[in-house]
Structure 1
């Protein structure tokens, strides 16, 4: 079936959120006398949700006696500051407008917690994307297929018409677990070498958002 629906990851795919995530992590760490993390460390820590991000950032992770307090501090800070330095990657807005004009369905699925996903979608993409799903109680986060399946249900489309777009090994496995074809973007939080090492070598790799439009218009996809 010809592709008519694109399901996007958020962080590292549509939005460059890395510096805001780092700032909130480091704010929380500093409140509890813990050493701050560098941007390259945060880049490797993201992808599995903010609890996992904090688990990797806090010394001794969840075994640290103040982990839950630091995690709560991070969430409180990030909800206020999630848009200080965040913004769409170059050509993302042009891509979404072109897809919208051509009648494609679009959704966001993210391991970021739901409130932040809704807020960022409203700020940037709500003209084009009406379905945006984040981490919440009762639905497993990626790489489980649950959020993707919920997006497909809300859109009212066939799985056979969908393609998944993301930037990480978590996104690759989400697509596999969901039975979707996967486009891996290389402007995000992982390199092509890292993705291939994670088993994503058969994915379609793109280096500019507008290539996504070219790819999905090809008959073989």
Structure 2
């Protein structure tokens, strides 16, 4: 087994959070008088964190005060509605259990707020991850390498011993910026052609494929 540590993205990689995110976005858009969005429109904005999502959803320049009010409303709503329709992708839990049983360390790094990350990890993956971090103060968001390298350092591993798994161009950049091997999945928020054009070299289509790759590479 080549890798000692697998670091996963959350949304679109191990959890299908799209509908709950769409519902939260549309809640604030409707409340503040903006046009609601279709699910696939929201899908294209995901990956860069909540503030980027709301900025893109509003689609026009507004004052910083109004933005912060809308963003706070979004965070408050999503924090209490982040696990209504969200579910792990097929086979993910069994894959994680098998990787853990094989001795691999497992972690999550997400651009989602840390509060929501902890709720979702507790509800869906209790006991499976050694570390799980969302967006935090004084830690740069992906694709910056800071959060990734901090976890590698926690285990005293070399970057070469680790692999990053995600579903978007943000995740590919994160892996590259960290000097780390990658797996990018095409069952999340980006499709195969988009990922191929973005430069992904290892694109997999199921939890079983991820497990086989990690245990046998």
| Pair 1:55–1:87, CA change in 2 (3 A) | same
Deviation for aligned residue 1:214:
1.3
Aligned runs of 1:12-51 on 2, under 5 Å?
12-51=12-51
| Pair 1:61–1:3, CA change in 2 (3 A) | farther
Higher mean C-alpha deviation, range 173-182 or range 143-152: 143-152
Q: Any conservation in 1 of the 2:13–2:188 contact (CA below 8 Å)?
A: yes
For residues 118 and 65 of structure 1, what CA distance do their matches in structure 2 show?
28
Deviation for aligned residue 1:61:
4.7
Per-residue deviation, residues 26-84 of structure 1 (Å, max 9, x unmatched): 11111111110110110000000010000000131555762221111100000000000
For residues 186 and 60 of structure 1, what CA distance do their matches in structure 2 show?
30
TM superposition score normalised by structure 2: 0.95
Q: Any conservation in 2 of the 1:143–1:173 contact (CA below 8 Å)?
A: yes
Counterpart in the other structure of 1:217? 215
The number of aligned residues is 217
Aligned runs of 1:48-197 on 2, under 5 Å?
48-61=48-61, 66-197=66-197
For residues 2 and 48 of structure 1, what CA distance do their matches in structure 2 show?
30
Deviation for aligned residue 1:218:
3.1
Gaps of 5+ in 1: none
RMSD: 1.5
TM superposition score normalised by structure 1: 0.94
| Pair 1:152–1:62, CA change in 2 (3 A) | farther
Gaps of 5+ in 2: none
